[in-house]
Amino acid sequence: MKKKRIVWKVFAILMMVALCALLLGYGTMLLWNWLIPELFAGPVITFWQALGLLLLCKLLLGFPHKHHEGGWAGKKRKWREHWEARMGHMTPEEKERMKDQLSRCMGGRWGGWKSPREENPGDNENKDEEQPKN
């Protein structure tokens, strides 16, 4: 009795895999044949070419991993933890100096980059005036 259940489960899994491959291949073929020839004057493909295209994309772009940590949200969290740990060891003066350097480099939160000439306009006033020729 137990062997029949295992055989049935294996058969059901194989049928689900086959059905998914059929649907993905057919859907890819329909989308390709609907869009590519019209937009780019490309070729029309068959079902087997569509399955090959899907397999090629998965090989080139990779397969999902179970230990994936939430895409951009996970990367943002790791970045924040890294900088909080790094700035946790700084003195208040070092933190303020770093924030000042970043704001000069980045131009504040929403501003653009400022050249050194824009930061100290009084230093370069004499250089712009015409020098008398001797």
Between helices 47-61 and 2-40, what is the axis angle to 10°?
100
pLDDT tens, position by position, for the chain (134 residues)?
778 888 899 999 999 999 999 999 999 999 999 999 989 999 999 999 999 999 998 888 877 666 656 677 778 888 888 888 888 888 888 888 888 887 777 765 555 555 555 555 555 555 555 555 55
| Residue ranges of domains in the chain | 2-61, 78-108
First to last CA, the chain: 110
pTM of the model: 0.45
Contact 25, 50 (CB under 8 A): yes
Buried b (16+ CB within 10 A) or exposed e, 8-46: eeeeeeeeeeeeeeeeebeebbeebbeeeeeeeeeeebe
